[in-house]
Structures are given as C-alpha cells and as structure tokens.
Amino acid sequence: MSDDIKTDSISFALIVINLTVWILGLLQPKIPILSILPVSVESGGIYYPVIAAGQWYRIITAMFIHDGPVHLLSNMLGVFAIGSMMERVLGKKRFLIVYMAGGIGGNLLVLFLDHMTGICHYTIGASGAVMGLLGSVLIYALINRDRAGKAFLKRVVFACILMLIPATPNVSVAAHVGGFISGAAMAWLLHHSDNLRDSL
C-alpha cells in the first residue's frame, strides 16, 4: 500500500492543496493576514477585466479555488479517479505538466471568449485541469489500441459525456472544452517528443 501512495503522490498533493486553499478561503474573513493571498472566490478567480488590468496570476490561482464543498468534492473525485490512473501512466512530472496545461488552457479559452463576446464570466475550479487529464486518457487510448487502450477509451468517452454536459447553469463549458483540448495536445506533444528523442 505504501508503494501505491508514493506512486500517486502528485494526485494526493493536488487534492491536499485544493483542500487547503478552500479552508484558507473560509478563514480569510476571520484572519486578516490571509487577505494578502488570492485564496478567496473574490480574489483569485478568472475575471477578464481584472486580468486584463494585470492580475495574470489568476490564470493559475483560479484552478485551486472552489465555491463550496460540492464543487470541491466533485473536482477532487475527478483528480482522485483519473489522476491516480494517469499519474502511473505518464509519470509524476508529465502528469503535473498535463494537469497544469489543462487548467491553464481552459482558463485561457474562457478569457478569449470573454474578450471576443464582451460578456465576462467569473470562473473558478479545477475542472479544466481534470478535463485535461481526460484528454490525456484519450491520447493514451488512441496510441495504445490494444485491449487496455480500448478500456481507457470507454472510460474517457463516458467521463466526457458526464463533464461536458452542464449540470448547473454555473458550469463553464469553455473551461471544460479548453482544458480537454489542452491536456490532449500536451499529452500528444509529450508522446511525440519521446519518439523524436528515440530516433536521434
């Protein structure tokens, strides 16, 4: 069991970080010193006007902020279920790269659409990053078209159906789609960088 915990250490660390940020957000009104940290819904989420004004850190901090226990739990279940699987497949470093690419890519698509439409949404959560992991599952399934690959493909199709269909009016489809595409693209690039290096 200790080996499994060690293998999934990045997934576990991400869950702990998200949980810690949520707790800090709850404590922020009661502990003034925490006001310097972008851990609350008001201070760290994606909102085009303030990001355009210079608060670019929100592209990253928004990935770790959630607006309630249900929102947090649903995303952390995704990290646990998909992350623990893909961390073993990709390795720790590449897993983290794909996770971050999904979260950042999803947030950038939200910003782009807000800029183009002039309609600014407030977006937080790790769902873009989780969708990025799903995108990497799809790439792994397509590359490994054996029995294991087909099993992965069935999982990603089922999970995508669940996550791409908005369950509430507040779900950001743009963050989900952007995260999925970014995670898939990063997984594909990492795979082909291996092939290129092996051929040299």
pLDDT tens sequence across 68-119: 898 899 889 889 888 888 898 889 999 999 999 999 999 999 999 999 999 9
Catalytic residue, from 66, 136, 176, 182: name it.
176
Q: How confident is the model at residue 126 (pLDDT cuts 50, 70, 90)?
A: very high
How is residue 39 annotated by DSSP?
A: -
Q: In 10 A of CB 17, how many CB atoms?
A: 13
Could you tell me how many residues make up the chain? 200
What per-residue confidence (pLDDT) applies to 199? 45
Which position has the token pair 């999970």?
159
Distance CA 101, CA 104 (A): 5
Q: Tell me the whole-structure pTM to 2 decimals.
A: 0.85
Q: Residue 54: what residue type?
A: G
Catalytic residue, from 11, 127, 136, 182: name it.
127
Residue 166 class from Cβ within 10 Å (0-12 exposed, 13-18 middle, 19+ buried)? Answer: exposed
176 is catalytic: yes
Domains of the chain with CATH codes? 2-199 (1.20.1540.10)
Beta bridge partners of residue 46, listed in sequence order: 123
pLDDT tens sequence across 3-54: 444 556 899 999 999 999 999 888 887 887 777 778 777 788 999 999 999 9
**pLDDT exceeds 80 at position 62:** yes
Helix H or strand E encompassing 102 = helix 92-117
- Catalogue the E-assigned strands of the chain: none
Phi, psi for residue 167 in degrees, rounded to 5: -85, -25
**pLDDT exceeds 50 at position 59:** yes
Beta bridge partners of residue 123, listed in sequence order: 46
